[in-house]
Homo-oligomer: A and B are copies of this chain.
Amino acid sequence: MNVIIDLCVIPMGVGLSVSPYVAACQKVLEEAGLEHRMHAYGTNVEGEWDAVFAAVKRCHEAVHEMGAPRINTTIKVGTRIDREQTMQDKIDSVERKLCE
């Protein structure tokens, strides 16, 4: 089962600068070989369910290992069985409507 998620990992108890932790998660996604694109409020990730959620778990482990005692993550998860759809397909689909 393929999945597109939007992942936003927020470490707590580490002060205000969360960018080193977000960067660590980007590296986890990179090493997992998963297609991913960061935006200002999270990262879109696409891939096979088990591979994607294994990477999410590794993000939590990595951020805890960096010293964050507590983590609050939000994940949006989309699956569909009617047809294949990539992250780019979703964006293209809206942009076509905007041009009509």
Contact = CB atoms under 8 A, between A and B. Distances in A.
Given A1-B61, A44-B40, A57-B49, A82 B94 contact: no
Interface in A46-63: 46, 49-50, 53, 56-57, 60-61
Contacts of A96: 19
Determine how many copies of this chain the complex contains: 4
Contacts of A4: 40-41
A40 B96 CA distance: 14
Given A41-B42, A72-B76, 14 more contacts: A1-B60, A5-B41, A19-B93, A20-B97, A22-B94, A22-B97, A39-B39, A40-B88, A40-B90, A41-B87, A64-B79, A69-B82, A70-B80, A75-B75
